[in-house]
Copies of this chain bind each other. A is one copy, B any other.
Amino acid sequence: MKETFIKEMNGVELKDPILIEGLPGLGLVGKIAMRYLIRKLGATKFATLYSPHFPYFVLVSKKGSVRLLSGKFYYWKSKNGKNDLIFFTGDSQAQTIEGQYEISDRLLDFANKHNAKTVVTTGGYRVETKDKPKVIAAATNPGLLSRALQSGAVVSPSGSPIVGTAGLILGMSHFKKIEALCLLGETRGYLPDPKAAKSVLETLQNMLKLQVNLDELDEEVAKADKMVTRLQKIEEKRALQVEETRKEEDKKITYIS
């Protein structure tokens, strides 16, 4: 395995597909969004991307089996919509600079092979906020961008960087005559953030006229909120202890002197 490569099931024919990407990143926003859509739509796995630029370990899965880190492609055939969908998500970003460019390249080649004219990338946008996460959009094409804005996104501030595959795909898409849109959910980024993923999915749904029930994401949001609350309590307790220890030590100093 000298280079990134994609292993694909034969015979999958898709109608004007749109490829939607969500790899792990800030708040795992893109990955949470992809996994949710794949599960709720019952999308079918049909290709796997392997790369010597992924971290060099394997993961034990259920029942003691083992799997190489990878990215996976799923397809979903639209019943009456214009576009079939391809979802791409995976275990990891590339760990090297060249690997980042190589994987983005392969994803665009894969889109081309399946005649996808549009790619949507998803991820997180770091912001310290407690409001409902906004969705930040950028695109290679004004028409595509304005569709995202009409669907609830706001335009990305100029000068802002988009790091990793979600960004490079937009940067490299014109080499392959593909249009690309990036949707980033606002997130503090420390912990898995299903709330940000939900915002991204709402915009995606509006744009693509999908009808996926997002309620189950709320359960994940509730869990994540509980986790945050628990972590905050731990942190407050720790701060209190530090404070008390300090007072104790102040007393000691007084006593000694």
Contact = CB atoms under 8 A, between A and B. Distances in A.
Interface residues of A, number: 59
B253 A159 contact: no
B63 A161 contact: no
Contact of A97 (B64, B68, B96, B158): B96
Contact of A171 (B68, B158, B171, B172): B68
Contacts of A156: 60, 64
Q: Chain A: interface secondary structure? A: mixed
B98 A138 contact: no
A189 interface: no
Contacts of A2: 98, 102
A139 interface: yes
B138 A66 contact: yes
Interface stretch (A8-16, A37-45, A49-57, A74-82): A49-57
Interface string A1-43: 1100000000000000000000000000000000000000000
